[in-house]
């Protein structure tokens, strides 16, 4: 069985969902689901200490480091060598999400035996499915991957059928709240399937800043607060700090579980959105 090191929470979740959690031998500091992976050795850590900072301060600190060309993560090269991975899961979609580029490439060159490296870089729901299949093939779990993809698609069909014929709900989905960032990549698809319309969403593209005045002018019925990298408790706290948005129902959600990580739980996210929009 291949030994797997995952630098990406979504990759870790895919491996576990395919029934190969016992093949994981190392993880990133952000890999926390399922709970069993928290016992694994940690092969990457943040280069910045962001604890206690506000969202605005985090935004500035991250932007400043990226502009300087420095990575946001540190790779434990010695530990990586000791773990002797056969497969490494990482990404090159978002510099904020996981190690990518020079720091990981340099670490891999130090390994005595070169592993297979999968870069999971989806921008759409269909590409998430392709990533699940690619991981399945790499670790000998292709049949399980196909079954998982088919099950998720059936769940999406059921949600779509339940909202068919209903007027779309006016939604603003916030991937960050200070400053406001819109929904990007696969999230606009999730909103549409759940029966919502978000004029700021950028399907298949990066999330970008949006203005408070524009959000107010749209007059959303529902504002979904899903700060990237945060769980439900932090989303609830940040939802309470939002500026006034007259007429909108504020709905904090667990971004890490259902929206920010392009892994097997995206169907849960669509179902959760549908409940929020049509409760």
Q: At 181, which CATH number?
A: 3.40.50.1980
- 167's torsion region: left (phi>0), alpha (psi -120 to 50) or beta? beta
Residue 247, exposed/middle/buried by CB under 10 A (0-12, 13-18, 19+)?
A: exposed
Which residue range(s) make up the domain with 107?
A: 4-121
Instruction: Examine residue 259 and state whether it is found in any structural domain, yes or no.
Output: yes
pLDDT score at 94: 44
**pTM score:** 0.89
Of 264 and 63, which is predicted with more confidence? 264
For residues 109 and 201, membership in a common domain is answered with: no
For residues 172 and 110, membership in a common domain is answered with: no
Residue 50 and residue 58 in contact, taking contact as beta carbons nearer than 8 Å: yes
The average pLDDT across 47-51 equals 57
Give the pLDDT band (50/70/90) at residue 224. Answer: very high
Instruction: Examine residue 159 and state whether it is found in any structural domain, yes or no.
Output: no
Instruction: Examine residue 81 and state whether it is found in any structural domain, yes or no.
Output: yes
Instruction: Examine residue 32 and state whether it is found in any structural domain, yes or no.
Output: yes
Give the pLDDT band (50/70/90) at residue 95. Answer: very low
For residues 214 and 114, membership in a common domain is answered with: no
For residues 250 and 172, membership in a common domain is answered with: yes
Domain final residue, candidates 86, 121, 156 = 121
Instruction: Examine residue 112 and state whether it is found in any structural domain, yes or no.
Output: yes
pLDDT score at 204: 97
Q: How far apart are CA 111 and CA 276, in angstroms?
A: 47
Domain final residue, candidates 102, 121, 140 = 121
Instruction: Examine residue 136 and state whether it is found in any structural domain, yes or no.
Output: no
* Number of domains forming the structure of the chain: 2
The average pLDDT across 160-181 equals 95
Q: How far apart are CA 156 and CA 174, in angstroms?
A: 22
Instruction: Examine residue 184 and state whether it is found in any structural domain, yes or no.
Output: yes
């Amino acid at each position: 069985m291949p030994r797997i090191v995952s630098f990406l929470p979504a990759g870790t979740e895919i491996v576990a969902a395919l029934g190969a959690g016992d093949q994981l031998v190392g993880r990133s500091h952000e890999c926390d689901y399922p709970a069993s992976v928290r016992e694994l050795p940690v092969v990457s850590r943040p280069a910045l200490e962001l604890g206690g900072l506000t969202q605005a301060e985090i935004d500035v600190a991250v932007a400043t480091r990226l502009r300087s060309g420095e990575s946001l993560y540190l790779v434990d090269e010695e530990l990586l060598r000791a773990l002797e991975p056969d497969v490494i899961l990482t990404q090159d979609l978002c510099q904020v999400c996981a190690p990518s580029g020079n720091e990981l490439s340099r670490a891999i060159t130090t390994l005595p035996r070169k592993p297979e490296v999968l870069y999971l870089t989806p921008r759409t729901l269909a590409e998430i499915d392709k990533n699940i299949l690619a991981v399945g093939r790499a670790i000998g779990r292709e049949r399980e991957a196909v079954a998982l993809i088919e099950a998720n698609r059936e769940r999406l069909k059921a949600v779509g059928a339940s909202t068919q014929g209903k007027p779309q709900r006016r939604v603003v989905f916030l991937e960050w709240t200070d400053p406001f960032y819109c929904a990007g990549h696969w999230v606009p698809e999730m909103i549409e399937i759940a029966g919502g319309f978000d004029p700021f969403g950028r399907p298949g593209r990066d999330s970008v800043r949006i203005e408070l005045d524009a959000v107010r002018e749209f007059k959303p019925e529902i504002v979904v607060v899903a700060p990237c990298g945060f769980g439900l408790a932090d989303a609830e706290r940040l939802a309470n700090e939002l500026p006034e948005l007259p007429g909108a129902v504020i709905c904090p959600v667990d971004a890490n579980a259902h929206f920010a990580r392009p892994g097997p739980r995206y169907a849960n996210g669509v179902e959760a959105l549908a409940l929020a929009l049509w409760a």
